[in-house]
Chains A and B, each alone.
Chain A
Amino acid sequence: MTAPAKTSLNPVPIKDRMKLPRQHMPEQAPEVRATNYTEVNLGYSEELARREALRCIECAKPACTKDCPVGVKVHEFVQLIVAGDFLGAAAKIREDNVLPAVTGRVCPQEDHCEGGCLMGKKVKPLGIGYLERFVADYEQRMGVRTLPTVPPTGKKVAVVGSGPSGLTVAGDLVQRGHKVRVFEALHELGGVLVYGIPEFRLPKQIIREQLDYMRAMGVEFETDVVVGRTVAIDDLLQEEGYDAVFIGTGAGLPVFMNIPGEHLNGVYSANEFLTRINLMKAYKFPTYDEPMLDLHGKDVAVIGGGNTALDAIRSALRLGAHKAYVLYRRSETEMPARAEEVKHAREEGIEFHMLTSPVEFLQDGDGWLGAVRCERMELGEPDASGRRRPVPVAGSEFEIPLSVAVIAIGTSANPIVQSTTPGLDTNKRGYIQASPETQRTSRRGVFAGGDIVTGSATVILAMGAGRRAAKSIHDYLTTGEW
């Protein structure tokens, strides 16, 4: 935890700071952005950033850093913004976070830094995410890079998966002098940042820039390698001479609902729907070869209430959907999506049907989806997740005409690495067992983190696991102790 500065650079008296309004993030107008695929949020100007930074009350026990999974020194970087040293602020964030331009955009700040912000108890919390994004973008615009200066250790680490956890491990370890090579199954780097999160929320250019930064730091990348199939973990450790391996293979197989009609044409998993759009650029068919169903004038629904669900339905809207629905079996309070995404989606005209659960996909002749039959739910006692369990209301079934349905209710463990790595323990749901403190697995020299350990979570939680893993891998490589 960071102690507050004794001599603040902030000219505004502390008692007046709470009176300063939270600076609004400029964004594309809802009716405009609903028809394009470019980023919704436009970013702070230098002036807006400084104004927002002035709001920080520099509390004695800042919860923002404590509540950040990677421990970004929020108070320190915000003070650097106040001082006008934006590059210094970026370097400060980079001490703890190798992907600031990403987290500044996709983190659920309300659950972490901003959720902990003391100002939020009385007024609106400090716009920490917006400020992080601002300095990361500023650093990129200036073309400044802070490259590692430590001498090489001679140790080699293989990172499996180029998503948020893998990139964090790679960035942290290369800065400690280790040689790092990242293996990616797909043809493009970035994992869920590339195939999952759409352009309008996280432009692919941002990821490419972050990857270039990592290459400049010395990280090596190899695409088209499905570890477990193309090469085994044991091959990496033995034949290829890696001293340690980090497994960050991410969210696995999409979960389906096991209700009738799920095989009809027009029913997608969110992973497939988003992969076609984001990774394969199917929305640019026929310039790009990967096809997808034409959504113009069609009624589309997503089933689920997380960020993935909102990414899918907001994509559908942008691709010309006539009606775009979210069907969620609990109420808005239980929705796991980021608050800003829910707000944005609503502004764009997405219709939310809460306490609604599909029971059957109905056919419109010849194997195509025509409608979904749903039932109404009500909330009962809390379940294992602590959220109130949805219970069907008897006799409440109704139909919604639909051409495309996207199922976004979560994922289960991908078995490829586990089933090809002897001695790698998994839990009863098939996820890799790893220590929550050190991310060590049951195999010496093998570490794991992110969704392949926890099941579907968020970018920042995966990055948190990556940070812990990097520290623990470094300890292992320097001491040789397991």
Chain B
Amino acid sequence: MFKILHAEFLAPGIKRFLIEAPRIARKQKPGQFVIVRIYEEGERIPLTIENSDPEQGTISIVVQSLGKTTTLLNSLGTGDHILDVVGPLGKPSEIKQFGTVVVMGGGVGTAMAYPTAAALKRAGNRIISIVGARNQELVILETEMRAVSDVLMITTDDGSYADKGFVTDKLRQLIQNGVRIDLVLAVGPIPMMKAVADMTRAEHIRTLVSLNPIMIDGTGMCGGCRVLVDNKSQFACVDGPEFDAHEVNFEVLVQRNRAYRNQEQQSLAEYRRAHESHAESREAEANGVCAAQGVRQ
């Protein structure tokens, strides 16, 4: 059992949890994730580690309500417990001096990009961050990202905050303006990561993406998270989650993430029906439900 020490909404449907997990806190490095099972009948899902504090023995995770498990998780609060939290899993991000790094966070993907951006900044890189969200309310971790960035750019799809448009518009501008870019890290919805990959491929800019396929054990045992990279099978949990964006087959990733869509919708619908008495909070969360598949949690 892992205790939730603090929980707060960062945006509608996006919640940050501070969790007591001393072993994980001691080992966590940027780019890694945890697998969580909330209760006995629950599924195992991978979630981003946004930060950790080895001294306090805590980690923080950022969760967006998408399906039943994330919606249920986001209904928990301070003092509640999560049955299983295992990690830190996956290979840590490579942290060294690259030069100028563009860190791109789409939606809740910003939470995954943040610790890597911070570590890259500490390693002496110039960090240009581009954070995108659908609207003003869904822009998360702005203060945190600003603190670790030399330049921070924000886009919203509807223009309700900062610049209207997509994160790729900003990247295109940087490229067109002749800014020297040594590395791009993009974390967000699959269409965003694919668009970034297509843009930087032509420019021969090294680009990494953090993938979030369906996973069960997270230790390499099941092979469910296999992704096609350079036309070879790779396991996101042990070989990733970061991969060379130019080698990733995004079509296969989208297709595999769809495998259980019907069951996922059924689960969520049944959960909602069973919790209609909490209609108000449900509604608040439903506002945050993102239609995009494969958003890094």
Contacts and interface: CB of A to CB of B under 8 A. Distances in A.
Contacts of A225: 23, 86
Contacts of B264: 291
B216 A416 contact: no
A215 interface: no
Contact of B84 (A223, A251, A256, A290): A223
B57 interface: no
Contact of B255 (A256, A265, A287, A289): A265
Given A254-B223, A414-B220, A416-B220, A230 B84 contact: no
A123 to B, nearest CB: 43
Given A272-B222, A415-B238, A229 B43 contact: no
A286 interface: yes
Interface in A235-281: 251-254, 256, 258, 262-266, 268-269, 271-272, 275-276, 279-281
Residue of A187, A231, A275 with most chain B CB atoms under a 10 A cut-off: A187
A482 B23 CA distance: 30
B37 A187 contact: yes
Nearest to A282: B43
B259 A230 contact: no
Contact of B267 (A266, A268, A286, A366): A286
B96 interface: no
A157 to B, nearest CB: 19
B77 interface: no
A253 B218 CA distance: 11
B69 interface: yes
Nearest to A192: B221
B134 interface: no
Interface residues of A, number: 46
Interface string B246-281: 000000100110111001101100100000000000
A185 B219 contact: yes
Given A224-B86, A229-B87, A416 B238 contact: yes
A419 to B, nearest CB: 9
B259 A265 contact: yes
Contacts of A232: 27
Given A225-B23, A414-B219, A263 B86 contact: no
B258 A367 contact: yes
- Contact-size category for B: 35 or more
Contacts, number: 126
A291 B260 contact: yes
Given A223-B84, A258-B233, A289-B68, A231 B23 contact: yes
Interface string A209-238: 000000000000001111001111000000
Contacts of B258: 265, 367
Nearest to A239: B26
Interface of A: 185-187, 195, 223-226, 229-232, 251-254, 256, 258, 262-266, 268-269, 271-272, 275-276, 279-281, 285-293, 366-367, 414-416
Leading 5 A-B pairs by shortest Cβ distance: A291-B263, A367-B255, A272-B222, A269-B223, A289-B43
Given A279-B216, A288-B43, 10 more contacts: A223-B84, A224-B86, A226-B218, A229-B27, A266-B259, A275-B216, A286-B263, A286-B267, A290-B44, A291-B267
Interface of B: 23-24, 27, 37, 41-44, 68-69, 83-89, 216-224, 226, 228, 233, 235, 238, 252, 255-256, 258-260, 263-264, 266-267, 270
26 contacts: A187-B83, A187-B84, A224-B84, A224-B86, A229-B27, A230-B23, A231-B23, A232-B27, A252-B220, A253-B221, A258-B233, A262-B233, A263-B233, A265-B259, A266-B259, A272-B222, A279-B216, A280-B44, A286-B266, A286-B267, A288-B43, A289-B41, A289-B267, A291-B43, A366-B255, A416-B220
